[in-house]
Structure 1
């Protein structure tokens, strides 16, 4: 059977090209997602400051979850200082050395902030854990001594014994540069480092009872594995890193990057597998449809339905295997493009490397073959069961009716899709309503795939005369052809409809959420001034300084983080990451109005929490209920819900007391301080007084509401860039599928074109017919694709904003329509010109 399948593929290369291309590019996308997923587990960054430590002990930085990706904590989880002695007592340990870390910014003479945002300050005692060597000067011994790494010292232009101004939060102090250190291989450090005297760094951290990690040096002859196991047994609730894993303890962003890449690859890869299966199945259905005459002849000479089905399956597996294997190479290239794009938008660090192994390749090939196998079975099942006479008849004229099962399922999917888009947003609460509305688009796409011939025939009847008025013979032929070949046109048009629906659904659900977030943030901000920082953040004590400024009525410090909430959904325990803010509740609505729907934010003190409407619905909680959540550093709390508010998209879904959040952030700094002028006070005078009050703090900036909202919009645009990249890949694949199927469907009509020319039609008339037919195809696809996307978008808007109108930028929609029209027009007309190249008499006799 494989030999026969290979002979058929070689003899009908043109008929199998479309399926090959669909599988090839599908394999490339799945391979790229698989490489990202494997890289999230295997990619490592070389250890720098902990290279000399055989082991590094840290707190748990993720919550263990069975049979799922462990969710990460976004803030540094620290250890109690008394763990140092516990680790030091373990047999085999020569020394246990603590590392304390603080965020530091270097301030130039003109007040500019110099240095990477990741610059960290450490105690000089921790240098024995790493490969830094003193290249000039001496260690820091005095309270105001500091040692810079060579790259930072060069950028600052500061010599040994020179002075430098360093900012920790909003506080700036002058230090003497006692020395310069560098890495032994001369390369720049991934994280610029500043070393203080040990007493000074503990004072700067403000947490003498906590340490970031503990580096472990072993006695000669001690085994790394044995000591690591002994530490785990002797010191509870710690994580012991060894080998290349030590970099995860050193660089907090690595764990978050791996978690981000893993979740992205799983979610996007899963969606793409579904899309690829639909496209491959549609392509194979069209291919089988074009071979009905050949299949009928095989049945006529004695082939059984089972043999025909086996032959088509074997052909598909041959083509699918070739496409899946050859798609691996462009898949590797696509993974590199993904990495470059994510680095460009700041989603992952530049030193995140890809791990390209055999496992993603194998999984990609297997998934593509499964998709091709299912697609071939669905496409060939009916064709194999047809009687030879019926198959010959269908090869000339399509059957007038769809199968009963196909028609029934297609009709039922329409109300199911509409119900899924409308009922959950109206009846359910939380994220489930938006997710349900988004999934409704797939149900409607399935319905279009099943009812395509009926929908296309109806559209031709309604739109044909309107789209081709006065087209004469060409318009008549186009309408007649569309009616007679509705199945063929529907199979070719389905990818175009799918592309329009998914493009509109993905892009405009994103614009709806983004626009709602921006509007909510702008509407919530009532403060006259916003005080921010050009460095890592604003020191919490600055709020008290601003309260003493004449004309100031209310000062609200705001700290941002992310919390991890666990909750029960039926019998399962689930978790959600939510953006969170910490605020002071005193006269809050004067500076920030979250839009309280129920409860009272004045009660936001101590062990309490306020939730957005969406979060409260997802967690299924009401006023007075408790929620189980972990703060930014993983500390578990169970606060009581005291308020539910509307503007969660713009402000964050979880709001906690300011000090509760601040204490559990890495650097204990505020994002901003909101300031409202007293009633009747001159806002300009108050602004001048605020700037005067912070004049001695070069990293602090005083801006108005417009500047702050603009900065928030830029941050939101950066976060949406990843979604745009993924959508571009999805739509790119669908664009290839659209061109693929339309070219295949049109090029196979060379006999039809030849017959029209033999009975008197000119090339010009045939081309005019195809232009008329293309207009019908494109307009029908745009209308059906748009109609299929509308319920999803309306449902998403209802769930997120409680309004019926999603945010649809007109130019973006026109862009989708324009691209669809261009793809359809170019594919059909180009392939039609190629199909008309042979002389009519020669084309009639050519074997398909």
Structure 2
């Protein structure tokens, strides 16, 4: 009989054991597929262009910072392109015309209030932006064409709350509320007379855009060209941000997921192989060598995992589409951003799942293949009493390393490196528990026995069985411990971060009122607020993200950090940043204040210099004048307002923090501006920040759901394989209710071990993360959430043992003894 035929017969004869492996690989393949779809979508997907659909090529400034071999870091704000570049682009052979384009968020003020619209230059109508239905094109700076109104009317168009009057010289049928100025006036309205957002290129007849694009790039150095759907990235900045988000999520979530899948599959196959000790012992006794055992296990694993991996692709694609809806709902990606579902993620998921299963099976079958035939026959009846010395040593080393990394690293290494080290310690501790599981389970059983929870015959049987079958029960318990650890670590990291950010925002915002407006507030409004009666201080705030390059683990790394620009006068009256060292009085010119966490990441102190790229990529060197504690609530860097405002896409302020209150006359003069109180604004800020936390939490819940499936799967496997054991107990006088009581005691040991050991394993990373982010050693652990984790562990562990036990007790004892013979 060939090895393939033998493997196939074994699979058919041991459906229960291989069904468990099938389920583990099936679910793992679904997760790998979903992660692959996210990655490919981040690299290749986008949305179709709208305003630039008629352009063959769209030319912009470089929107990314090249970082060597790594993917370029995107700038948070639009990098403008000098309008003078349009002339050079127009001279490139094959270019029929160029359209320098700007887009400005504005509003049309009317008797019923202000209606939002988007302003452009008139030449953008060549891209199909609309059709003139009356009047003429604008020719003077004080003229405008609107999609509503009458020719000859005077219209008030506001940008950032500042109104300007224009004479309506034409009407246009546009797809959205729009205003069209002369090209020069559109750039003035945008606040940047010498730059544009992009240059749309119309190709000459017969010229292919794939040939024209590199020709433009060669003729006009320092620009970026886009064709096809990539043109949308020039039109919508959030397309590039969405790609970066998906790439980061796929890399971080996918890496953790793959390790967990490998551990779960290894545990499942390991338990299945343990239950086949009798079979492998007989094969060794009839002269089967280690190579034969390895080949048999490898073929079995490959056959089962190949089918499971292929079938898991469909649910994986469905999971990615569900995640797409979640990302859109919480604003992580734009609504029109589609996912790419190509063959590469599917092939990678199938191949990765099969290779992982085969590798896990070979590792789990190492002892069965290498042990001598005589010892194999001995172990077929009784599990080996001791774990291997190497396994125990490795487990304790990882346990110590994980504990030290979780708690000590944030105390020794400040900043992001310390936080990352604390977070990664959870995986080290999970692996340590997987290696030491049998010993830890036996210890838990002994402690419960000492507490008097193992009294009576059923308690005695449960304790004896736990000691005798510690390897089997340890392998079955490991996924449940892993689930408790990861659930606690991931969920309470989010709650700790959110609670700290909420506390910093609520205690640090001192303003009596906050002024906000859709699209932003013009800087001139803040000057008017300061002159208003009843106002003692008014601080303009503009928010952005900067790129800072710092040394991490001896290598330069560039990361994005949240930043705010503020006017220094009266800052202490409206904002408390919890300054630890230095002073905010010197926050002018090239000064910067940084959070404690960022200072540790950058390796700077007072007087040090930080080299950064502002939101639009402009290099900026800043001197540290203060280090503060409220980085989660107000951003990692605080810069002077003038250093930031000119380097954002709109050039407008996000809000104005006011001490006192401007009068009603002032508010009537700026109807686009809304007034909110301190509490409402802080709540809105926390809700906006919580959206990203919710996305992270949902991603982790997907992983935890996989672990829950694995827990049920492996515990059912372990319990269902005990039919003959239960039958033997019944033949020697035990009643079914006594057998069920025994397994309930065993389930109690499993649940208690999972909750206690899982909680202990989650504690070091949580303490370390809390120390790194908040300076306090106690993480924010909502009691009801923790009780929910405990209840879920109890329900999964108890149900996955109790229900299969009832099924295993259904056959008559004599008939059940023949199972597996």
What TM-score do you get using the length of structure 2 for normalisation? 0.96
Match of 2:459 among 475, 482, 485: 475
C-alpha contact (below 8 Å) 1:140/1:179 kept by paired residues:
no
Shift of 1:591: 1.6
Match of 1:767 among 699, 715, 740: 740
Structure 1 unmatched ranges of 5 or more:
184-188, 678-686
Cα deviation 1:790-830 (Å, max 9, x = unaligned): 11101111111111110011111111111111111211111
CA distance in 2, matches of 1:310, 1:230: 57
In structure 2, the residue matched to 1:98 is: 100
Match of 1:71 among 70, 73, 89: 73
Match of 2:119 among 111, 118, 121: 121
3-state SS of the aligned residue for 2:668?
coil
In structure 2, the residue matched to 1:757 is: 730
In structure 1, the residue matched to 2:46 is: 44
Cα deviation 1:102-145 (Å, max 9, x = unaligned): 1124566444x655xxx532112111023644467764567666
C-alpha contact (below 8 Å) 1:410/1:446 kept by paired residues:
yes
In structure 1, the residue matched to 2:677 is: 704
Q: 1:838 to 1:635 in 2, by over 3 A?
A: same
C-alpha contact (below 8 Å) 1:467/1:775 kept by paired residues:
no
Number of matched residues? 818
> Does residue 222 of structure 2 align to residue 231 of structure 1?
no
In structure 2, the residue matched to 1:511 is: 495
> Does residue 329 of structure 2 align to residue 344 of structure 1?
yes
In structure 1, the residue matched to 2:15 is: 13
C-alpha contact (below 8 Å) 1:163/1:177 kept by paired residues:
no
Match of 2:565 among 582, 593, 600: 582
3-state SS of the aligned residue for 1:668?
coil
In structure 2, the residue matched to 1:681 is: none
C-alpha contact (below 8 Å) 2:60/2:199 kept by paired residues:
yes
> Does residue 269 of structure 2 align to residue 284 of structure 1?
yes
Shift of 1:56: 1.4
Residue pairs, 1:424-443, within 5 angstroms: 424-443=409-428
Residue pairs, 1:395-414, within 5 angstroms: 395-414=380-399
CA distance in 2, matches of 1:137, 1:352: 38
Residue pairs, 1:424-573, within 5 angstroms: 424-464=409-449, 466=451, 468=453, 472-533=456-517, 535-569=518-552, 572-573=555-556
CA distance in 2, matches of 1:135, 1:360: 50
> Does residue 651 of structure 2 align to residue 668 of structure 1?
yes
> Does residue 193 of structure 2 align to residue 208 of structure 1?
yes
Does 169-178 or 323-332 show the bigger shift? 169-178
Cα deviation 1:481-519 (Å, max 9, x = unaligned): 112211111100100000000000001011111111111
CA distance in 2, matches of 1:728, 1:161: 60
CA distance in 2, matches of 1:590, 1:258: 40
Shift of 1:76: 0.9
CA distance in 2, matches of 1:245, 1:591: 43
Shift of 1:172: 4.1
Does 617-626 or 266-275 show the bigger shift? 617-626
In structure 2, the residue matched to 1:626 is: 609
In structure 1, the residue matched to 2:37 is: 35
> Does residue 700 of structure 2 align to residue 727 of structure 1?
yes
Q: 1:18 to 1:690 in 2, by over 3 A?
A: farther
CA distance in 2, matches of 1:161, 1:5: 87
Does 133-142 or 273-282 show the bigger shift? 133-142
Q: 1:193 to 1:353 in 2, by over 3 A?
A: farther
Residue pairs, 1:259-274, within 5 angstroms: 259-274=244-259
In structure 1, the residue matched to 2:338 is: 353
Shift of 1:370: 2.4
Does 45-54 or 327-336 show the bigger shift? 45-54
Residue pairs, 1:71-220, within 5 angstroms: 71-105=73-107, 109-111=111-113, 120-130=118-128, 132-134=130-132, 139-140=137-138, 146-147=144-145, 166-172=157-163, 176=168, 178-182=170-174, 193-220=178-205
Shift of 1:173: 5.3
3-state SS of the aligned residue for 1:120?
strand
> Does residue 371 of structure 2 align to residue 386 of structure 1?
yes
CA distance in 1, matches of 2:222, 2:787: 56
Does 488-497 or 303-312 show the bigger shift? 303-312
What TM-score do you get using the length of structure 1 for normalisation? 0.93
In structure 2, the residue matched to 1:655 is: 638
C-alpha contact (below 8 Å) 2:187/2:194 kept by paired residues:
no
C-alpha contact (below 8 Å) 1:56/1:242 kept by paired residues:
yes
C-alpha contact (below 8 Å) 1:49/1:127 kept by paired residues:
no
Q: 1:767 to 1:251 in 2, by over 3 A?
A: same
Match of 2:709 among 736, 748, 754: 736
Cα deviation 1:28-85 (Å, max 9, x = unaligned): 0110111111112222322222222222111111112333222111111101121122
3-state SS of the aligned residue for 2:564?
strand
Cα deviation 1:741-779 (Å, max 9, x = unaligned): 000000000111111111111221111212221112111
